[in-house]
Structure 1
Amino acid sequence: MALEPVFAPDVPLQVRRLYERKPELFVPAGQPRPKRETSWSTAPGATFGSLLVWLAICVGGWILGLIVFAITLPTAVAAWSALALAVVAVVLTGGVAVSSAVEDRAHKAVRLQHGKYLLPEDFDEEAGRVLGRAQRAVRTVLGATVTQRGLLDEMQNDLVLPEQLWDIGQVLHEQSVLRARQRDIARGMATAELEAVLGPQRRALTRSADAIKRKVELLERYADRVRSADAALRAEAALEDGDRYIELLARTEPAGDTSVVQGFADEAAALRDTLSRSIESARAAGRTLALPD
């Protein structure tokens, strides 16, 4: 599955949805914050030409209206009508001028939120693989039936998981930047002095990469336990048809033979215990996500 962008928890929902519609507007964190864009800044010549055309239309329309009013209306009424038409033209012209100087809402949202989102381009191949694992784990938890029914800690999932994913994304992005910088510095050079500097940096980067992988593994264990709880929940749902099977067997089994019915009851009780243990195990795994590293 393709890598998805990572958003800070406080990024508005409309900005996240904007990425689904217009991903090309978003700028990677490794690039400078986009500048304020208006029609004048992006296409001043075309904007100026459009305003001239608009002014020509307004003036021509006003003159035409003035002639029509003079022919069809009394003098006083024609004068007031011409004045009203001029006011409308001025207001509309002002609106067009203001709109050409106002920044597009979508560009403004992307500019203001720059640095609070990380795009797939912000990660190298190694970091992308780790982030993909974390995103799959979070999707598993949030999409599980036990989560949607509120059987787990709903507040934990809604608050902690986005924070965890954002923290992981930030660390992985920084690792990607540092790995690229190390490659650039070491390219074409191999000296003892350089190795004395890069050696400790590589070891620190390796330790950081191992630590973030352990954090992702914690997320994956949580997702596995949620998946197990989901499976137990689906199995319990299948027991809702148990009475129909018992009735069916009662019509075919010898009278007085209750072994099958008892078997159904025992399996139901065992499954409910399994479901309770699975949900509690998932809750315990989720609580560990909020503990400090």
Structure 2
Amino acid sequence: MGLDPVFAPDVPLKVRRLFERRPELFVPAGQPRPKRQTSWSIEPGATFGSLLVWLAVCVGGWILGLIIFAITLPTAVAAWASLALAAVAVVMTVGVAASSAIEDRGHKTVRLHHGKYLLAEDFDEDSGRLLGRAQRAVKTVLGATVTQRGLLDEVKNELVLPEQLWDMGQVLHEQSVLRARQREVARGMATAELDAVLGPQRRALSRSVDAIKRKVELLERYADRVRSADAALRAEAALDDGDRYIELLARTEPAGDTSVVQGFADEAAGLRDTLARSIDAARDAGRTLALPD
């Protein structure tokens, strides 16, 4: 469905960046929380074999060093050098053994934050379609120039919109689970008793879907207002080139028509009014997002 993951607002930025680098680590909320994973739990045989190879290398290296020390160094010095080499080998062996028993940082992060993120696999087609619309609207708002310049700061988009997405994502995920459950229960059966149970459940689910649709439409309306404000802002910025066009006319038509200059001035005033109205409309639409249903 091409959906982006949805994260709870309190999920650290490092978790979001981890998804960008290693998305395969993340487990859908609909699946059990992943267990703690180490080299021993994933591949115990390979881990044990690697440790045996490491021990063989250490012992062989120590014996070779002992021979070299005995040939090249005085007895006392050779003894101390052999002891130091053995100590280094023991410390390194302990470190290798300990690292094989430590959980990979990426797996640990995913395990600890399981349930605080939702993946595309957590949504069925209907829920995914609604979530995709909401995500596109949020991207439009956050990427708009009027937002980045702080012209809509009072709406607090950076805080409100991620919370809105997470709340919607949780509800849409639950709707997906319940729809699948209803299909499973109703498969191969059609009795009055079953209809009596499923009827109210379906109506409740339908009302929940309608409520989410209204919220998505509010987001899209807000995105449209922000898009209009952005267009007005770009048009106003284009007026900065007005003097260059006037100068161009003056150079090519010394007795140029003054109505052109007046037209630039009138257009500038009109655009400023349009920009002010567009920003006010965007702010009004943004405020509705934080209002209770």
Deviation (angstroms), 1:252:
4.2
Asked whether the 8 Å contact 1:147–1:154 carries over to 2, the reply is: no
Instruction: Let me know the Cα RMSD of the aligned residues.
Output: 1.3
Map of 2:126 onto structure 1: 126
Any unmatched runs of 5+ in structure 2? none
Deviation (angstroms), 1:46:
0.6
User: What is the total number of aligned residue pairs between the two structures?
Assistant: 293
Asked whether the 8 Å contact 2:250–2:256 carries over to 1, the reply is: no
Map of 1:80 onto structure 2: 80
User: Which residue identity does 1:167 align to in structure 2?
Assistant: D
Map of 1:280 onto structure 2: 280
Indicate how the Cα distance of structure 1 residues 72 and 154 shifts in structure 2: closer, same or farther if over 3 A, else same: farther
User: Which residue identity does 1:180 align to in structure 2?
Assistant: A
Map of 1:18 onto structure 2: 18
Work out the CA distance in 1 between the residues paired with 2:11 and 2:182.
Answer: 32
Deviation (angstroms), 1:251:
3.4
Work out the CA distance in 1 between the residues paired with 2:155 and 2:219.
Answer: 16
Asked whether the 8 Å contact 1:6–1:165 carries over to 2, the reply is: yes
Asked whether the 8 Å contact 1:156–1:287 carries over to 2, the reply is: no
Identity within the alignment, %: 86
Indicate how the Cα distance of structure 1 residues 254 and 80 shifts in structure 2: closer, same or farther if over 3 A, else same: closer
Map of 2:173 onto structure 1: 173
Deviation (angstroms), 1:262:
0.7
Work out the CA distance in 2 between the residues paired with 1:38 and 1:226.
Answer: 48
Judge which range, 257-266 or 95-104, deviates more. 257-266
Asked whether the 8 Å contact 1:233–1:275 carries over to 2, the reply is: yes
Work out the CA distance in 2 between the residues paired with 1:208 and 1:102.
Answer: 44
User: Which residue identity does 1:204 align to in structure 2?
Assistant: A
User: Which residue identity does 1:288 align to in structure 2?
Assistant: T
Deviation (angstroms), 1:253:
4.5
Any unmatched runs of 5+ in structure 1? none
Q: Secondary structure at the match of 2:18?
A: helix
2:239 matched to 1:234?
no
Map of 2:153 onto structure 1: 153
Asked whether the 8 Å contact 2:155–2:283 carries over to 1, the reply is: no
Work out the CA distance in 2 between the residues paired with 1:107 and 1:83.
Answer: 39
Deviation (angstroms), 1:256:
7.5
Work out the CA distance in 2 between the residues paired with 1:154 and 1:72.
Answer: 78
Work out the CA distance in 2 between the residues paired with 1:177 and 1:256.
Answer: 71
Work out the CA distance in 1 between the residues paired with 2:64 and 2:254.
Answer: 101
Deviation (angstroms), 1:211:
0.2
- Deviations along 1:171-195, one digit per CA (max 9) or x if unpaired, are 0000000000000000111111110
Deviation (angstroms), 1:147:
1.1
Map of 1:143 onto structure 2: 143
What's the TM-score, normalizing by structure 2? 0.97
Map of 2:185 onto structure 1: 185
Map of 1:108 onto structure 2: 108
2:271 matched to 1:264?
no
Deviation (angstroms), 1:150:
1.4
Asked whether the 8 Å contact 1:7–1:118 carries over to 2, the reply is: yes
Work out the CA distance in 1 between the residues paired with 2:254 and 2:99.
Answer: 85
Deviation (angstroms), 1:152:
1.2
Asked whether the 8 Å contact 1:27–1:114 carries over to 2, the reply is: yes
